[in-house]
Amino acid sequence: MKWYVIKVMNGKEKKMKEAIEIKLKENNTENVICQMLVPSQKAVQLRRGKKIAVEKQSFPGYIFVECESINDVEANVKHINGVTSILKQPLTSKEIENILGRKEKKEVEEKLHLNDKVKIIEGPFSSFVGTIDKLDLEKQKVKISVLIFGRETMLDLTVSQIVKQED
C-alpha cells in the first residue's frame, strides 16, 4: 500500500472526503482505498472575547489516500466537483511519517526525559541552560527550570525551542 495526495478546494476537505467515499460506494469500489486522512489539529481562537476550540487543517486543500493503485481511485474521483488534481507520485515513508506526526513524537520520546539538562535555542531566553521539570509529549510542550539573576524560574516552551545538553 502506498500513500497518494488528492488536491481539493481549500476549506472543503472533509466534505470532499465524504463525497469521495460516497462515489466509491456507488461504484462498488470502496475496497480500493484502505484509508483516507484529512490531518487536523485542535486550536484555540478568540471570538468576541471568548476562547473557542476549533479544528484547524494541517494541510489545507489536501486529502491523503492509502491505496494499491492511484489509477483506480482517479477513475472514480476525477469528475467530483471540488477535486482539482491527483498527484500520481506516491509519498515516501518519511513524508507520510512527518505528515502523521509520528516521527517527531518518536524522536522526542527517545531524546528527552525528566531532569535532563537542555539548552534553549529559540526565543528571548536563547542560550540559557535548564532542567526539564515537566514533559508533555502530546502537546509537544516542556516546563524548564532556569536560573535567572540567581533565582530559579519556570519557563513554558515547545520541544522545538530546546536541545538536549550533552554532558
Look at residue 74 and tell me whether its pLDDT is greater than 90.
no
Give the pLDDT score at 103.
46
DSSP one-letter code for 61: T
Nearest Cα neighbor of 37 from 72, 86, 3, 76 is 3
Give Cβ neighbours of residue 153 (< 8 Å, ≥ 6 apart): 145, 146, 147
**Strands (E) located in 11-108:** 33-37, 40-47, 50-57, 62-67, 83-87
Q: How confident is the model at residue 105 (pLDDT cuts 50, 70, 90)?
A: low
pTM for the full predicted model: 0.59
Give the pLDDT score at 128.
92
Look at residue 146 and tell me whether its pLDDT is greater than 90.
yes
Just give the CATH number of 108-164.
2.30.30.30
DSSP one-letter code for 91: P
Dump pLDDT digits (tens) for 23-72.
Answer: 888 887 777 777 888 888 777 778 888 888 888 888 899 999 888 888 87
Separation between Cα atoms, residue 137 and residue 58, nearest integer Å: 18
The continuous run of DSSP H or E covering 162 comes out as strand 162-164
Looking at the chain, the whole-number percentage of residues with pLDDT higher than 70 is 92
Domain map (residue ranges) of the chain: 2-100, 108-164
Question: What homologous superfamily does CATH list for 2-100?
Answer: NusG, N-terminal domain (3.30.70.940)
Q: How confident is the model at residue 76 (pLDDT cuts 50, 70, 90)?
A: confident
Separation between Cα atoms, residue 75 and residue 5, nearest integer Å: 15
